[in-house]
Amino acid sequence: MLDYPNYWGVAGYPISHSLTPRLFEILGDFLGSGSVKTVFLEAGDADEFFQRAEKLEGELWISCTSPLKHSVWKRLGCESEEEIQAVNQLVRMDGEWSVSNSDGRGFIMACRHIGVEPGGSILRIRGGGSTARSIAYSWSKEGGQIIPVRGRRALAGGPWDVSIVDDSLKADLSVDLDVEAGVGGSFPLPAGRQVSISYDEDWKIDDFAVIMVAAQHLEAWKKFFSPNKIEKLPSLIELLELLEERH
């Protein structure tokens, strides 16, 4: 993996609210990456994304969000992330694309940050899109159980099926994955505690959505962007503090 790209940033729509470009810059400064240009690639589908990316010459690191996660995975014909059928991290190096998905791992890290251990806990999850599948996959791998709630779509079958339990049980945690990006708030779901994955311009570093996006990004650097620099990366707490300084 290359040390640092010519460009990094975010792709999808809407993305004007996204903290991802700021997180790239914070980690880049922390590691002494030098001059990397930050980009916002607004794109409503995979074709539009690749058209915009082709105009950028050189190496590229992109975190992608809705509505690109599944369409980009499908367009690239990725064998990796087969169970989830979605990606949220992309690298173009020497003209070739490689992909990863840190949504689920970031959610797990954020849960542990707020004191919720997935193993032995029940998660009520609304929605069936790319982020829902990624979270269901990671939650199940950690030994957690899942109560799926149909939103715009149902959670499709997958490796997490073995972790699905009856909806009459009390959930420890709930999350609405159909919430609109950039507006905050969620559809109310019964559980001991509900978290949101959407933040707005008045975000704070103790908002779960902000913790999660920082955790996702940190996971991407650890396992995909710069696995050779894991020991040099800040902790999640340190990254959140650095993010607050730039608010």
Co-location of 98 and 15 in the same domain: yes
> Does residue 201 fall inside a structural domain?
no
The 10s digit of each residue's pLDDT in 155-165 is 999 999 999 99
The CATH number that applies at residue 87 is 3.40.50.10860
Q: Which pLDDT score is estimated for 184?
A: 60
The 10s digit of each residue's pLDDT in 21-48 is 999 999 999 999 989 999 999 999 999 9
> Does residue 186 fall inside a structural domain?
yes
The 10s digit of each residue's pLDDT in 202-224 is 899 999 999 999 999 999 999 99
If one counts the domains in the chain, the total is: 2
In this structure, the strands spanning 60-64 and 37-42 are unpaired
Co-location of 11 and 89 in the same domain: yes
Co-location of 30 and 78 in the same domain: yes
Question: Can you read off the two tokens belonging to residue 146?
Answer: 């899942």
Co-location of 181 and 62 in the same domain: no
Co-location of 82 and 135 in the same domain: no
DSSP-based helix, strand, coil % in the chain, nearest 5: 35, 20, 45
CB 235 within 8 A of CB 8: no
| SS3 state of residue 162 | helix
Domain enclosing residue 140, as ranges: 104-195
Co-location of 185 and 110 in the same domain: yes
Q: Which pLDDT score is estimated for 3?
A: 85
